[in-house]
Amino acid sequence: MSTVITSVDQLNFKRSDLRTMPAPSKVLMVEPNHYDVEYVINPYMKNQIGEVDKIQALNEWEHLRDGFEELGFKVDVLDGEPGLPDMVFCANQSLPFIGRDGEKQVLMSVMKADERQGEVPFIESYYRKENYTVNHIKGDTVKSFEGMGDALWHFKRGLIWGAYGFRSSLEVYDQISDLFDVPVIALELQQEEFYHLDTCMCVLNEDSVLVYSDAFSAEGMKLIRSMFDNVIEASAYEAEKLFAVNAVSPDGKNVLIQQGCTDVNQKLRDAGFYVHEYSTYEFLKSGGSVFCMKMMLW
């Protein structure tokens, strides 16, 4: 039976009630050999068509890949595909999970923009080779769903944080809750600059989260505060101009983040996290940064 929660008064569990899950141990990345800004599907792409420095983009991508490896993660790399410049943002085409029995499964996305729909089959082929059980969204009530761009796992707990409003349909979370056998806390996004949940919410560990609060409704922030002891807030400038919240904490203690997020980085260090800064300026032109450029896997 699905459990989709949209208000605090619907919460009937505590974090400690949720089943435990292993932390991911592997990273998937897509090489930016065809990355560019070729169309406009978000506010950041405006006036950026043809403006990507492809050599610099590759350097930035390689540096980030090396960063995951330095932290001890195995990194699988797929080639990009001609005509699919945003495939490099491989957080969007799928939502992987690991069942109670340890079986690896994945739900494939339905991309909202026509320009990105062709990415999904290539990512699906990877999962099949890795022996994941592949699932697809059923029925026609779900208009779109963009994977881990909008659906985030609570660190090491059986809980999904799911966003809706711009790229993903609220209706998808009933299916996700049923399929994954976990509750979903659904958050409505309020500003088009924060069109994916991963632009305004970064789950750091079981207790801590980094957010840009203005991207959420008041009820959404109440839900977030109800499940995290430590809520770190990013400023409007760092969240929008530097994609500070599009960071990742793959192990609950190290945070990989766009360079120059001075205020957020100090808050993270004060909270006991190790901060690793990376330049993703070429990818910011397309509306993505560190989190978008990888998929954490088991």
C-beta neighbour count of 12 within 10 angstroms:
9
Beta pairing partners, 233: 211
| Distance of alpha carbon 214 from the chain centroid | 18
Q: For residue 292, indicate whether it is catalytic.
A: yes
Do 253 and 275 meet the contact criterion of CB atoms below 8 Å apart? no
Question: Per-residue pLDDT for the chain (298 aa), expressed as one digit of tens each?
Answer: 689 999 999 999 999 999 999 999 999 999 999 999 999 999 999 999 999 999 999 999 999 999 999 999 999 999 999 999 999 999 999 999 998 889 999 999 999 999 999 999 999 999 999 999 999 999 889 999 999 999 999 999 999 999 999 999 999 999 999 999 999 999 999 999 999 999 999 999 999 999 999 999 999 999 999 999 999 999 999 999 999 999 999 999 999 999 999 999 999 999 999 999 999 999 999 999 999 999 999 9
What is the 3-class SS of 21-48, one letter each residue? CCCCCEEEEECCCCCCCCCCCCHHHCCC
197: tokens are 């949940």
Tokens found for residue 9: 């008064």
Known active-site residue 136: no
* Domains present along the chain, CATH in parentheses: 4-297 (3.75.10.10)
Distances (CA, A) of 97 to 58, 121, 133, 153, 156: 29, 18, 10, 9, 11
What's this model's pTM, rounded to 2 decimal places? 0.97
Q: Which two tokens stand for residue 138?
A: 């059923």
3-class SS of residue 94: strand
- Report pLDDT for 48: 98
Structure tokens that stand for 254 in this block? 């190290």
For residue 238, the model assigns a pLDDT of 98
Per-residue tokens: 273: 């996290």
The per-type count for the chain, helices as H runs and strands as E runs, is 7, 15
Position 1 scores a pLDDT of 65
| pLDDT of 227 | 98
Q: Which of 196, 200, 261, 276 is catalytic?
A: 196
Within 10 Å of residue 280's Cβ, how many Cβ atoms?
26
For 142, residues 6+ apart whose C-beta sits below 8 A from its C-beta are: 110, 169, 171, 172, 175
What pLDDT is recorded for position 79? Answer: 98
Residue 247, judged by CB atoms within 10 A of its CB (0-12, 13-18, 19+), counts as buried
